[in-house]
Amino acid sequence: MSEGEAKTVASDEKASFNWLGALRDAGFLALFTLGLSFPILAFRTRQDLWHGLVLDPRWDLVATVVAIAFFGRLSWLVVGGRVSRSVQSFATQAGKVLAPLQNYTATFRLVGLIWLIAYPFLAVLIAGPGGALKWIDNFGIQILIYVMLGWGLNIVVGLAGLLDLGYVAFYAVGAYSTALLSTYFGLSFWLCLPLAGIFAAFWGILLGFPVLRLRGDYLAIVTLAFGEIIRLVLINWVELTNGAAGISGIPRPTFFGLPFNASDEGFAAFFGLEFTPLHRLFFLFYLILALAILTNWVTIRLRRLPIGRAWEALREDDIACRSLGIDTVTTKLTAFSIGAMFGGIAGAFFAARLGFISPKSFEFMESAVILSIVVLGGMGSQIGVAIAAVAMIGGTELLRELGWLKSIFGAGFDPTQYRMLLFGMAMVGMMVWRPRGLISKREPSLVLHEKRAIGGDLVKEGQG
């Protein structure tokens, strides 16, 4: 093809682009934005000295927003297709790159485990003893709690296909049972940990019974209500839970009876080390790491047992399950209770880690975050959930590190305020480019000849 021809093709493409349509489209959006921004942005309200309402017009702001909408839409119409296509192909490529990782699970798991075990030491090495506190606590421990919660919820949502919007209730049950048992009865953390799991599993069964006959949206609404009921009970039963003020003074976990303090009986003194708060953080980090790995191990094991296959079969088709003699009632209840148990254990850890809990920590937002971790990761995929937890929780924590943006946007700018906006944008992006989550392939639980992952398009999400 000669140069001239190439030029005509290019100009043909340009000519075929419908400028009038694009302008009309962008104009419509600008009008729409104007309509929207008029009641929201056009006036700033304030009180004057006589408590009267004063409206300060902000037409410049409205004009800016409308202009952004117009030119943004126009430029998206011009180059958006190309951008979307390239992101799409990038996302597909990324999926392709991630998918074979499942074939090297053993290696991957080993490397990941070594990295995780080394993580606190690396943090100290790189950031110094003072700087490492933040990296171990806010990043390490915080993310691992959500990884564990995500894996716990993955049993209910990802494997059994039961949409649970109130998972945080079990987290709350675990945290409050630990707090109450240790402050009222003086039970040690190590006793509270399994008890919290058992109590949460019990509540899982209790929730399971009434919702067994529900599916889809109805199930989601009831579980959502259950989460709110638990939270409202915690707020209003002041005699037991101290209401919204929360419970403080929860005993911290000890290292086989050795407290992490500067006293002579403390951990540091016993081992002849110099006292530093890092010891406790190291301990908590390895504890939650062990708990998360336990969750993962149990889930992987259960998936290869009849009960795990029955969960997945239930997600695929519950009527077929019934025709094969599988008791769907017990199958659903086991999924609910085992998922809840891990939530409860994570809750116990949460209570003991902070030494203080209040109903504020168990709002619907938490359920939504945990559920979005499961959905983003790819329902049913253990590694996908872990990656999504790192991205979501680590991303939120990273926003706190962006203080330097103040120098650009002014002193009033607080990046953490944009957390939900970024969440939402990430979700929309996922819906467009990877609707089945980061890792959408399903790994068979049993192999006769050769292991092959199953494409996400064949795997069902469950009807509730």
Partner 1 sequence: MVQTAMNPGMGPALEPILRVEHLTMRFGGLVAVNDLSFDVARGQITALIGPNGAGKTTVFNCITGFYKPTSGRIALVSGGPQSDPAVAELTDSPGRSQRIGRGGAYLLERMADSEIAAKAKVARTFQNIRLFTGMTVLENLIVAQHNWLNRASGYSLLGLVGAKSFREAEAKAVEIAVAWLDCIGLKGRADDPAGALPYGDQRRLEIVRAMCTGPVLLCLDEPAAGLNPRESAELNELLLSIRDSNGTSLLLIEHDMSVVMEISDHIVVLEYGKKISDGTPDYIKNDPKVIAAYLGVEDEEVDEAEAEIEG
Binding site for partner 1 (CB under 8 A): 298, 301-302, 305-307, 309-310, 312-313, 316-317, 319-328, 334, 442, 444-452, 454-455, 458-460
Closest distance of CB 419 from partner 1, Å: 34
Residues 6+ apart with CB under 8 A from 462: 157, 160, 161, 162, 163, 314, 315, 316
Closest distance of CB 399 from partner 1, Å: 37
Closest distance of CB 158 from partner 1, Å: 12
Closest distance of CB 304 from partner 1, Å: 8
Query: Looking at beta carbons only, is 298 or 368 nearer to partner 1?
Result: 298
Query: Looking at beta carbons only, is 98 or 302 nearer to partner 1?
Result: 302
| DSSP reduced 3-state for 384 | helix
Residue 461: which of 166, 168, 146, 219 has the closest Cα? 219
Closest distance of CB 25 from partner 1, Å: 39
Phi-psi region of 325 (alpha: psi -120 to 50; beta: other; left: phi over 0): left
Q: What torsion do the CA atoms of 50, 53, 59, 63 make, to the nearest 10 degrees?
A: 140
Task: Determine the Cα–Cα distance for residues 348 and 389; give it in Å rounded to an integer.
Answer: 20
Query: Looking at beta carbons only, is 85 or 322 nearer to partner 1?
Result: 322
Query: Looking at beta carbons only, is 411 or 458 nearer to partner 1?
Result: 458
Count other Cβ atoms within 10 Å, centred on residue 390.
17
Closest distance of CB 404 from partner 1, Å: 47
Q: The tokens 């939530």 sit on which residue?
A: 343
| DSSP reduced 3-state for 23 | helix
430-464 exposure pattern, b = at least 16 Cβ within 10 A, e = fewer? beebbebbbbbbbbeeeeeeeeeeeebeebebbbb
Query: Looking at beta carbons only, is 147 or 321 nearer to partner 1?
Result: 321
Query: Looking at beta carbons only, is 215 or 252 nearer to partner 1?
Result: 215
Closest distance of CB 193 from partner 1, Å: 19
Residue 381: which of 450, 462, 443, 433 has the closest Cα? 443
Closest distance of CB 155 from partner 1, Å: 13
Measured CA angle at 283 (ends 279, 288), to 5 deg: 150
What crossing angle do the helices spanning 364-377 and 382-389 adopt, rounded to 10°?
130
Quote the longest CA-to-CA distance of the chain.
Answer: 87
Closest distance of CB 207 from partner 1, Å: 21
Q: Report residue 335 CA to chain centroid gap.
A: 20
Q: Which amino acid is at 210?
A: P
Q: Which amino acid is at 136?
A: I
Q: Which two tokens stand for residue 450?
A: 């050769």
Query: Looking at beta carbons only, is 280 or 303 nearer to partner 1?
Result: 303
Residue 460: which of 319, 329, 351 has the closest Cα? 319
State residue 63 phi and psi, 5-degree precision: -60, -40
Task: Determine the Cα–Cα distance for residues 44 and 54; give it in Å rounded to an integer.
Answer: 8
Query: Looking at beta carbons only, is 317 or 363 nearer to partner 1?
Result: 317
Query: Looking at beta carbons only, is 90 or 297 nearer to partner 1?
Result: 297
Query: Looking at beta carbons only, is 136 or 292 nearer to partner 1?
Result: 292
Closest distance of CB 215 from partner 1, Å: 16
| DSSP reduced 3-state for 280 | helix
Closest distance of CB 306 from partner 1, Å: 4
What crossing angle do the helices spanning 19-41 and 59-98 adopt, rounded to 10°?
120
Query: Looking at beta carbons only, is 278 or 438 nearer to partner 1?
Result: 438
